Chains A and B, each alone.
Chain A
């Protein structure tokens, strides 16, 4: 009997042990070697990420690293595809229903343009299109101008400001301001605000200065005195097409003939600082400006379901994969690379680039610029206004 029990026990132990071994081997296969079990969904997850052009190079570099690391969600490989697109273009596509296929996520220039896009989505479908996870980097609008021009403005108006540039725009030429006649008229550096978020944000910052407030509503933009005051600034741009989407670079290659001074993104100035430094450029931080906080927002509108065949689990996988990449961007390895692209860390920290150009006025520490908060309705009002006054 004892022998029988022993044989049964041995058989039992063999069966249980064998099963445990098989289970262990299966676990190793799935979790170490990513082998998929029959019936498991192993289809790739492609995260289609739209990013603001100022972010594009940094995010693309990070995405290439992420993709090379074979990152997975539930054993499904994740691939990040990056497309650079200005936030105003995203807004326009949401407005017209042309944002198809819907992206998985979007890193907009700032909360101001993300809110604008969500406003359009609410007006179209009753709900937001995107839900913010958080910021991934920072930048700030700042003044830049050729030193000889800035010196004249300093002498005449006491420093760079929208009030000063409005005065310069209204004059009959540089000679009337105390500058040289060969300089012609004051030329404002402003990317097309109908197409470029930084251009629109610059004008919103002008509205904030005009009204002496840091929270703007739509009525601040549709305000007749403001629009009348701002018209010379619009008229002071020689050609909205000329500088394209890289105004600092074009100032660097064309010099003063392309523009005299303007409010551009700090990262835009930094990426062209080398060339600009040969042309005697001066940088100043504005007293107040719209902030570029580069929010990472996941698409949460129902339409994504149609992109993935109406399957809720697919939509959730898409969103989770996007959030994984968001976390990836917050890691130190990625944050430390922001400096190379002229951007500040999400914490506000900076790197070597900022130190290098400190003599021109770049500050490594927190910029002394108050944040101008703008309602989505105010942004929309500004967009309508510039579409009317610029032909």
Chain B
């Protein structure tokens, strides 16, 4: 063959390779190609809790691949004559948000949040009962919504803290009664021989969104009802108790020790991993604690986090697979959903469930690693459970949160230097407005802006009085001048620090895109100012958002380290979402 012919042959082979790669390649899930949907497939959808996100996409893809290859994934057998394949699509979403979306689908279909899944898997069946209660119908058959993974709710507490409590109560089981003693002790951790910060820092997520938070809040009401009304043998929480002023006040006192809230446990895990300096204990699902102790968070925990299974009892989160009795689910889809449910409850998938830190929901897989004491958990616990209140009581607990939760003073601090011009300032305005819209009305809000000057267009005041002024000021933001980042942070910190008697969360939400070019004070002076506010009952938190690629990451990290927070990153495309998430901290 001549040289030119070889060249032609080589080119043709290369072209063929490219074509084949383009055809055979494409999307993958964990390295496995995404299964194609058979043309006659019964399509079903599933919304599952965020804790399932690490493994559910692969489970779904394996299920779909089996059908694509002509096999029933449950039996492993070739499809029978007339048996249609099933194709599943799924996404993770917070249980509370989905519940509202499904309820809206029935009673407010024009709402922006509407969900119509074939299968819904919240973390816990409380949400199914709430959905039934809110729609006034049996939307979900709780008895026919089988569990797919089990996780008890625990109080994740640093080993040093738990040992200190146990030392004070040798040989006694620990529960809410002992935690309340710590919370109510005027000397805090000092009474337990722990040096350094005496104030107790506690945390949990939003009970309107997060299952763990809802279960925890119910647990707080139980604790308050038992110990604050001298009713230690209370078995079941009632509406009267939830509405009792003394009980509510007890819960309010527990909530006073909140450092800040968050929407989702998946984000909270990263905060707690920073160590006892950040939080002393936080409510988590057992699998989340295992995740932290396995070192899978960005920060490596400085000591072991252990699971406290409160002696009074806790709740099991069962991750049920529930099929709504709704018009958007056909009989064929219902049958197909049951096939997928059987698949998720099969031995092979339950082994995956266990590997991800959950307890298996069936007897096919025995409990083993990682449910081990080495990772801070006890496979023989929990010893007992709390009675699940009636749905009306759960709804009352949830709605009471707005009145018992710790309120916040929030100073929005926005960089309006010249580098923020154009699209950046436009998106920042929209994001700041969205932040204000999401902020609960019980909080106090203020707005400071800075370039080479620092000004306070709207000083801190109640949301009711301030929100319109803040919105107007945001609309008028304009970008110009240099950047006095350090001076601005110092000024905002000092503004919040003026109220020394505050029993509120105190926070600065800082949005900055550039390097400091104009401050009179130094980075060290800024860090010292922030550090001076640490350790108190209500330390000033600074949540710094690095806006764009030119943001001063070093300075923002220094700010975050000083106030034990994390720098959030945003750009014009996602800044609104970033600020919406931050608004959930309050």
- Given the known inter-chain contacts A195-B143, A246-B146, please indicate yes or no for A172 contacting B233, CB distance below 8 A: yes
User: Which residues of B, 119-176, contact A by the 8 Å Cβ criterion?
Assistant: 125, 128-129, 141-147, 150, 152, 173
Q: How far is the CB of B327 from chain A (nearest CB, A)?
A: 14
Select which of B386, B388, B392 is within 8 A of A241 by beta carbon.
B388
Given A187-B385, A257-B383, do A241 and B360 touch, yes or no (CB 8 Å)?
A: no
* Residues of A with C-beta under 8 A to B311: 181-182
- Chain A nearest CB from B122 CB (Å) reads 12
A239 interface hit (Cβ, 8 Å): yes
Q: How far is the CA of A250 from the CA of B143 in the complex (A)?
A: 13
Chain A residues 253-298 with CB under 8 Å of chain B are 253-258, 272, 274-275
- Smallest CB-CB separation from B361: which chain A residue? A253
B452 part of interface (Cβ distance < 8 Å): no
For A246, the chain B residues whose CB sits under 8 A away are: 146
Choose among B129, B143, B391 the residue that contacts A191 (Cβ–Cβ < 8 A): B143
The reply to whether A242 and B384 contact each other, CB–CB distance below 8 Å, is no
The minimal Cβ–Cβ distance linking A179 to chain B, given in whole angstroms, is 11
Residues facing A in B524-574 (CB within 8 A) are: none
Chain B 362-386: CB-based contact to A (< 8 A → 1; otherwise 0): 1100000000000000001111111
Looking at the complex, which one of B146, B313, B388 makes contact with A244 (CB distance below 8 Å)? B146
Check if A238 sits within 8 Å of B150, measured CB to CB. no
For the complex, give the distance between the alpha carbons of A252 and B173 in Å. 24
- The answer to whether A258 and B316 have CB atoms under 8 Å apart is yes
Task: Output the least CB separation between A5 and chain B (Å).
Answer: 60
Does any Cβ of A come within 8 Å of B185's Cβ? no
| Chain A residues with CB below 8 A from B482, complex form | none
Determine if B236 is an interface residue (Cβ-Cβ < 8 Å): yes
Is B312 in the interface zone, CB < 8 Å from A?
yes
In contact, B384 and A182 (Cβ under 8 angstroms): yes
**Given A184-B385, A257-B316, are A249 and B363 also a contact pair (CB < 8 Å)?**
yes
A235 contacts partner chain B, Cβ-Cβ < 8 Å = yes
Alpha-carbon separation in the docked complex, A184 to B386 (Å)? 9
How many B residues touch the partner, as a band?
35 or more
Q: Which residue of A lies closest to B350 (CB)?
A: A253
Closest CB of chain B to A62's CB: distance in Å?
17
Residues of A218-266 whose CB lies within 8 A of B: 235, 238-242, 244-246, 249-250, 252-258
Residue A361 is within 8 A (CB to CB) of chain B in the complex = no
Q: Is B141 a contact of A242 with CB atoms below 8 Å?
A: no
For A242, give its contact among B125, B360, B382, B391 (CB under 8 Å). B125
Verify B384–A241 contact, CB threshold 8 A. no
Q: Please determine whether B363 and A253 come into contact, CB atoms closer than 8 angstroms.
A: yes
CB-contact partner of A249 in B125, B145, B362, under 8 A: B362
Check B145–A244 contact: CB distance below 8 A.
Answer: yes
Tell me which residues across on chain B come within 8 A of A42, comparing CB atoms. Answer: none
> Is B178 located at the chain interface by the 8 A CB criterion?
no
Docked pose: A196 CA to B142 CA in angstroms: 12
Cα-based distance from A185 to B235 in the complex (angstroms): 7
Residues of B contacting A192 with CB < 8 Å? 142-143
For the complex formed, measure the closest distance between the CB of A301 and the CB atoms of chain B, giving whole angstroms: 22
Q: Which residues of B contact A257 (CB under 8 A)?
A: 152, 313, 316, 381-385
CA gap between A288 and B559 in the complex, in Å: 72
The answer on a CB contact under 8 Å between A239 and B391 is no
Q: Does A349 contact B (CB under 8 A)?
A: no
Q: State in angstroms the CA–CA spacing of A127 and B126 once bound together.
A: 41
Min C-beta distance of B287 to chain A, whole Å: 15
* Residue A183 at the chain B interface, CB threshold 8 Å: yes
Which residues, 236 to 262 on B, are CB-close (under 8 Å) to A? 236
A250 contacts across to B, CB distance below 8 A: 147
Q: Does A159 contact B (CB under 8 A)?
A: no
Tell me whether A182 and B387 are in contact (CB under 8 A). no
- Min CB distance B127 to A, Å, is 11
Question: Is the Cβ of A253 less than 8 Å from the Cβ of B360?
Answer: yes
Q: Does B51 contact A (CB under 8 A)?
A: no
Tell me how many residues of A have a C-beta within 8 Å of chain B: 35
In the complex, are the beta carbons of A254 and B390 less than 8 A apart? no
Asked if B383 contacts A391 (CB within 8 A), the reply is: no
CA distance A361 to B187 in the complex (A): 56
A167 within 8 Å of B (CB atoms): no
Chain A residues with CB under 8 A of B385: 184, 187, 238-239, 242, 257-258
- In the complex the two chains form, is A242's CB within 8 Å of B383's CB? no
Considering the complex, which residues of chain B in the window 386-420 have a beta carbon less than 8 Å from any beta carbon of chain A? 386-388, 390-392
Q: Is B359 an interface residue (CB 8 A)?
A: yes
B84 CB, min distance to chain A CBs, angstroms = 15
Contact, CB under 8 Å: B391 / A195: no
- List, in ascending order, chain B residues with CB within 8 A of A252's CB: 363
B383 contacts A256, C-beta separation under 8 Å: yes
Contact B145 A241 (CB under 8 A): yes
Given the interface pairs A172-B233, A272-B363, the reply to whether A253 lies near B143 with Cβ below 8 Å is no
A contact residues around B388 at 8 Å (CB)? 238-239, 241-242
Q: In the docked arrangement, what's the CA distance between A244 and B383, Å?
A: 20
A241 to B387, CA, bound (A): 11
Min CB gap A372→B, angstroms: 23
Verify B363–A241 contact, CB threshold 8 A: no
Given the complex of chains A and B, what is the CA–CA distance between A388 and B519 in angstroms? 70
Q: Are B236 and A242 closer than 8 Å at their CB atoms?
A: no
Closest chain A residue, CB of each to CB of B175: A182
Report if B285 contacts A (CB, 8 A): no
Nearest residue (CB) in B for A182 is B383
Which B residue's beta carbon lies closest to that of A171?
A: B233
Give A391's nearest chain B residue, CB to CB. Answer: B390
Closest Cβ–Cβ distance, residue B375 to chain A (whole Å): 19
Q: Does B220 contact A (CB under 8 A)?
A: no
Which chain A residue lies CB-closest to B363?
A275
Q: Is A302 an interface residue (CB 8 A)?
A: no
In the bound complex, residues from chain B placing their C-beta under 8 Å from that of A194 are 143
Residue A173 lies at the interface, judged by CB distance under 8 Å to chain B: yes
Task: Please tell me if B513 contacts chain A, counting CB pairs below 8 Å.
Answer: no
Which B residue's beta carbon lies closest to that of A64?
A: B80
Bound state CA distance, A173 and B313, in angstroms?
A: 12
B580 lies within 8 A of chain A by Cβ: no
A255 to B150 CA separation, bound complex (whole angstroms)? 12
CA distance A194 to B381 in the complex (A): 30
User: Is A241's CB under 8 angstroms from B173's CB?
Assistant: no
Contact indicator per residue, chain B 333-375, by CB within 8 Å of chain A (1) or not (0): 0000000000000000000000000011111000000000000
B318 interface contact, C-beta 8 A: yes
Tell whether, in the assembled complex, residue A239 and residue B383 are in contact, meaning their CB atoms are under 8 Å apart: no
Cα separation A158 to B452 with both chains bound (whole Å) = 84
Please name the residue on chain A nearest to B313 by beta carbon.
A184
Q: Which residue of chain A has the shortest Cβ distance to B141 in the bound complex?
A: A195
Question: What's the Cα separation between A185 and B383 when bound, in Å?
Answer: 11
Does B142 lie within 8 Å of A240, measured CB to CB?
yes
Q: CB < 8 Å: which of B144, B236, B359 contacts A253?
A: B359
Instruction: Check A184–B384 contact: CB distance below 8 A.
Output: yes
Interface string of A169-182 (1 = CB under 8 A from B): 00011000000011
B246 nearest CB across to chain A (Å) = 21
Report A240 CB to chain B, min CB distance, Å. 7
CB B376 to nearest CB in A, in angstroms, measures 18
> Inside 8 A of B313's CB, which chain A residues have their CB?
184, 257
Q: How far is the CB of B130 from chain A (nearest CB, A)?
A: 12
19 contacts between A and B (CB under 8 A): A172-B233, A173-B233, A181-B311, A182-B173, A184-B385, A195-B141, A195-B144, A238-B385, A238-B388, A239-B385, A241-B129, A242-B125, A244-B144, A244-B147, A246-B146, A253-B150, A257-B152, A274-B363, A391-B390
Residues in B lying within 8 Å of A, measured CB to CB: 125, 128-129, 141-147, 150, 152, 173, 233, 235-236, 311-313, 316, 318, 320, 359-363, 380-388, 390-392
| Known A184-B384, A253-B363, A257-B384; 12 more pairs at CB < 8 Å | A182-B173, A185-B384, A192-B143, A195-B143, A235-B235, A241-B320, A241-B388, A242-B385, A244-B147, A249-B362, A250-B147, A256-B384
Contact surface of A with B, Cβ cutoff 8 Å: 172-173, 181-185, 187, 191-192, 194-196, 235, 238-242, 244-246, 249-250, 252-258, 272, 274-275, 391
Which 8 pairs of residues, A with B, have the shortest CB-CB distance? A184-B384, A241-B142, A239-B388, A275-B363, A195-B143, A172-B233, A192-B143, A238-B387
